[in-house]
Amino acid sequence: MMLDLALENCRINHDIVNIGIEDGEIARISKSPLKADKTIKIKGNIILPGLIDAHVHFREPGYEYKEDFRTGSMAAAHGGFTTILDMPNTKPETNTAREFKKKIKIASKKSIIDFGLHAGIKKLKEIKKITQLNPASFKIFTEEIENHKISRIFQTLKGSNIPITFHCEDPQIIEYCTNQLKDESRPEIYSIARPTIAEELATTNAITFSHHYNHPIHICHISSKKTLELIKSIKAPVTCEITPHHLLLTSEDLKKWGAIAKTNPPLRPGKEAITIKDLKMIDIIATDHAPHTLQEKKANIWEAPPGIPNLEVTLKLLLTLNAKKRLKLARIQKMLSEKPASIFGLKNKGRIETGMDADFVIIDPKRTGKIKADEFYSKAHYTPFDGMEYIGEPVMTILRGKLIMEEGEVFKNRGTHIKSNYHR
């Protein structure tokens, strides 16, 4: 059998295999040589399923000056990601069926990788319409929606199995603390203005809804050990994520980076922060890629917008932990490929098995360098990880059997809208 493409000498765990691709899917995995129209030599480098980022903000429509689907997807491919799920807080928001369809059209023309969409929430009748379009989830910002409305949202989605994704921070606590501290100019004060108790209360509230309605929820970007303890202490269909900045930085980094490291929820003091040892209790790593202009981020800590661009640094940071024996490669694969696909209904993604989409990231574990924000494909040329030395980096990204990144160069491609499938 002559295949479309063969990937030769791929390292999976401790085995060297050849992978055959036909019609964009994995057709064969073999230790024997494969015949194909085209062969790519992997040279014994590590191959993982294409990474899936379940939480990005590509800013389009409305804020294209910060990022758009072309630059965002190029940044993703550069970082080893083959699928992203975009958040709804654009302008206009993706909270009606009409706007959901519009964003699909925009992304289908511009994204070079596969994509799915989280939906916002406006009216209950729009929830039912969007449900028919297979969203990744419905997103709730707890600062914006009252409890009685949240209850009705759960009732409307009953029986659908579509997750409700939560940004958990209590608005009253944040307002009170911010008013007490807003005359302070020290950047690290921002962490105290949005304390962990705000996250813990809002998370408890979300879990209570999930438990009561027996409906799946996903908690975004958890930032504190106590929040994680709450999630694991209550029996409910709840999953959660952590970002690389909440995992690897603390509020001390605000002193050095100022608003460059500003994010919501904020970075935490070391004693409150989640550590690498806690990853076994967390479902996925998501970048929360949230780009702004450098000029916007140069404002003071209160006026600068929150958000950090992470698509092009995340894998390098995690591979460095792997090289230092602090994080197993199997956990990276689980948290950045397998589990995101499972949680968000991406049936053909996340695993290297026959019949799955031929999405891969090839890693050279010995490649070293320094993170350089000025080399990003993202429009946001800043990061609090700038200058950090890394060990291991993605050298190829392959989407549905097509090479879309090699040695830092990103190529033209047309991604596909992936409909989340929650039939169980």
Which sequence positions are flagged as catalytic?
Answer: 288
Q: Is 212 within any annotated ligand binding site?
A: no
Annotated binding-site residue? 218: no
Report whether 307 belongs to an annotated binding site.
yes
| 41 carries a ligand binding annotation | no
Closest residue by Cα to residue 240 from 195, 207, 276, 289: 207
Do the annotations mark residue 355 as ligand-binding? no
4: annotated binding-site residue?
Answer: no
Answer yes or no: is 58 a known binding residue: yes
β 409-410/402-406 pair status: antiparallel
23: which residues sit within 8 A by CB, 6+ positions away?
4, 401
Calpha distance 367→16 (Å, rounded):
20
| Residues 73 and 111 sit within 8 Å (Cβ to Cβ) | yes
Judge whether 211 is annotated as a binding position: no
* Angstrom distances, CA of residue 171 to CA of 105, 136, 149, 207, 369: 35, 26, 16, 17, 42
Residue 221 counted as an annotated binding residue = yes
**Exposed/middle/buried for residue 382 (C-beta within 10 Å: 0-12, 13-18, 19+):** buried
Please check if 95 is assigned to a binding site: no
Torsion of Cα atoms, 9 then 14 then 15 then 18, to 10°: -30
Residue 367: CB atoms within 10 A of its CB come to 16
Specify binding-site residues for substrate.
Answer: 57-59, 89, 292, 306-307
Specify binding-site residues for Zn(2+).
Answer: 55, 57, 139, 167, 221, 288
Specify binding-site residues.
Answer: 55, 57-59, 89, 139, 167, 221, 288, 292, 306-307
